[in-house]
Each structure stands twice: as C-alpha cells, then as structure tokens.
C-alpha cells in the first residue's frame, strides 16, 4: 500500500474537555487513503525535542473535503506542543499506516464497541463507517460502552452523536453513568441479553487485556487497537514489538510489530502473560 508523506494544514483546533483536543487537518492524499483503525505519524515540531514523530489514530475522515480529524490527550511534550499550534499552521504527516479494522463480516448483526478514555478516537470513525455501509435503518444493534476515570474526562455527547448508536457510560469513580470497569458494564449488558457477533475495542492495556480474556472465553471475535512506542511506523526499526501468541509452539518467542502487523490485533494473537509492566507506563509529565 502506498505510504504518503504530506504537509497538512491545520483547519481547526478545539479544546474539547480537560486535556483533550480535537484537531482537524487538511491533507487530501492521506484523507483519501485512510481507513478506520489506521494512524498517522505527525511531526509536532521542526527541532529535535521531541525528536520522533508521534502516532495518532484517525478519529474522523472526510475524504470529500480532503480532511481528517484526530482526538488527542496532552500527556507529554509532543502533545503539549501540538496543542499550541494554531489553524493555518502546517504539519508534516506520514500515513496512513497500520492495518486498520476489518469491517464486520455480516450486514446487520449486533456489534459492541468498547472505548476507554482517549481510546474512543479510532472507534468513532469505525462506527461512522459501519453506519454508512449498513445504511442507517438496517444498521442493527450497535452499542458503545465508553468509560473514563471521571466524568470530567468523558467527551461531550455532541461529539458522539452517531445515528442509531446506543451509548452506555462508565466512570471509575461513578461521577457519571455506571461506576466501575467498562468490561463489567459490558458483561452486565450481555447477561441481560445483548449478544454481539463482534467486538471492537481501544483503550488502556489493562482494559484491552480484560476484553481479550472475555472474547477468548466466549468465543467472540474481537479486534483490539493496541499501542507500543512507535519510532517510525513503517516496520524498519522493529522497536514497537509486542509478544505474539504462538499456539503451535507455546514455548516459542516471537513478536508482532504494532506499526506493521497492527495496531489492530485479534484477542488471540497476543501473548498477554509476557507483556511487561513497562508497556503500561503512566505519564510522568504532569508531575513536572
């Protein structure tokens, strides 16, 4: 697939809530080629701090206008610099990268989307794409289980407004919606009769692990968007590795590479018990 390096123009920038920003970029070539679940590498400044590009998922794509959007949370210097750029400024992009989500196999079966925090970003574009492919009327039962630490970090509903989508909210502290884990909320919905044929999920690694566990135990297809530190995004450096499941030879050591083989993985393709705690480091930036 063609990889594109493109100078994008910032169309608009909006502080959505808390530390979360929404950025709209004009980049006709990349927008024309983007699929849900794929990402772009974005150069936030010309200098060497930060040095590397930063990965962001497409949260909305408007190919007709030649635009796409990203939703991001400020967690470090790169995202901080990004949040200071104003409309009209230009940004260097490489993309679209990664495999992207496989759209659902069937045309009307119920689907579950699980989003933790900023993990909502790639699911928004996916849901929009599913609705437009299935047609609004026959979209079937589409449910989004969306959670964050606290109500302050949930995105406002106008951003989530997709016709035919039912949304259940959860917060860790119970300040809005269900109190507790997204996966628990989802399991309760299943106990009440919701039977998704496929699951799409994006969020913190601990959440993804629970989704994968549920999907494997219940033999439900799940596609998870996973993260790893990405230096370049085209497979050349082998830095973004995650331990791969090796069912044919459980003792073997093999790796998948998030930027090339992912970022979308099936629940069964990762060797979850070999993921190190470093893979889930909490940003230290707010402390300084």
Ligand X SMILES: Cc1cc2nc3c(=O)[nH]c(=O)nc-3n(C[C@H](O)[C@H](O)[C@H](O)COP(=O)(O)OP(=O)(O)OC[C@H]3O[C@@H](n4cnc5c(N)ncnc54)[C@H](O)[C@@H]3O)c2cc1C
Ligand Y SMILES: Cc1cc2nc3c(=O)[nH]c(=O)nc-3n(C[C@H](O)[C@H](O)[C@H](O)COP(=O)(O)O)c2cc1C
- Applying CB under 8 A, the residues found at the interface with other proteins are 2-3, 5, 43, 48-53, 92, 94, 228-229, 231-232, 234-243, 252-255, 274-279, 281-282, 284, 287
Smallest separation (angstroms) from other proteins to the CB of 184? 26
Q: Which of 230, 205, 183 lies closest to 119, judged by CA?
A: 205
Q: How many CB atoms lie within 10 A of CB 26?
A: 19
8 Å CB contact between 103 and 129 = yes
Residue 118's binding partner out of ligand X, ligand Y, ligand FES, none, with CB under 5 to 8 Å set by partner kind: ligand X
CA distance 116 to 120: 6
Residue recorded with tokens 């998030």: 258
239 binds ligand FES (CB under 6 A): yes
Which listed residue (235, 244, 268, 272) binds ligand FES by CB under 6 A? Answer: 235
239 binds ligand Y (CB under 6 A): yes
Q: Where are the alpha helices (DSSP H) in 40-106?
A: 77-84
Q: How many CB atoms lie within 10 A of CB 278?
A: 7
Q: How many CB atoms lie within 10 A of CB 10?
A: 17
233 binds ligand FES (CB under 6 A): yes
- Rounded CA Rg of the chain: 18
Minimal CB distance to ligand Y: which residue? Answer: 237
CA distance 208 to 211: 5
237 binds ligand Y (CB under 6 A): yes
Which listed residue (10, 33, 45, 75) binds ligand X by CB under 6 A? Answer: 75
Helix (H, G, I), strand (E, B) or coil at 224: strand
Question: What's CA 218's distance to the chain center, in Å?
Answer: 23
Residue 259's binding partner out of ligand Y, ligand FES, other proteins, none, with CB under 5 to 8 Å set by partner kind: ligand FES
- Pick the piece of the chain touching ligand FES (CB under 6 A) from 42-50, 208-216, 229-237, 245-253: 229-237
Tokens of 94: 């490489």
51 binds ligand Y (CB under 6 A): no
Sites for ligand X among residues 127-156 (CB under 6 A) = none
Binding site for ligand FES (CB under 6 A): 230-233, 235-240, 257, 259-260
Binding site for ligand X (CB under 6 A): 39, 50, 54-57, 70-73, 75-79, 118, 121, 227, 229-230, 258, 263, 281-285
């Amino acid at each position: 697939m063609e990889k594109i390096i493109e100078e994008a123009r910032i169309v608009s920038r909006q502080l959505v809530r808390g530390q979360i920003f929404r950025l709209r970029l004009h980049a006709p070539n990349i927008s024309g080629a983007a699929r849900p679940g794929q990402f772009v590498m974005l150069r936030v400044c010309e200098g060497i701090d930060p040095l590397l590009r930063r990965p962001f998922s497409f949260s909305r794509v408007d190919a007709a206008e030649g635009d796409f959007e990203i939703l991001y949370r400020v967690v470090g210097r790169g995202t901080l610099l990004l949040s200071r750029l104003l409309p009209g400024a230009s940004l260097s992009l490489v993309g679209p990268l990664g495999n992207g989500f496989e759209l659902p196999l069937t045309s009307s079966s119920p689907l579950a989307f699980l989003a933790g925090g900023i993990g909502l970003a790639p699911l928004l574009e996916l849901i929009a794409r599913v609705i437009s492919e299935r047609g609004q009327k026959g979209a079937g039962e589409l449910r989004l289980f969306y959670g964050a630490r606290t109500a302050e970090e949930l995105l406002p509903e106008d951003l989530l407004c997709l016709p035919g989508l039912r949304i259940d909210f959860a917060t860790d502290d119970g300040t809005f919606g269900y109190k507790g884990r997204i996966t628990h909320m989802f399991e309760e919905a299943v106990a009440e009769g919701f039977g998704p044929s496929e699951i799409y999920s994006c969020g913190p690694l601990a959440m993804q692990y629970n989704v994968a566990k549920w999907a494997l135990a219940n033999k439900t297809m799940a596609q998870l968007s996973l993260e790893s530190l990405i230096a370049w995004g085209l497979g050349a450096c082998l830095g973004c590795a995650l331990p791969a499941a090796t069912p044919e030879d459980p003792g073997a050591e093999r790796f998948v590479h998030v930027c090339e083989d992912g970022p979308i993985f099936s629940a069964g393709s990762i060797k979850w018990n070999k993921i190190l705690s470093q893979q889930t480091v909490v940003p230290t930036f707010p402390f300084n």
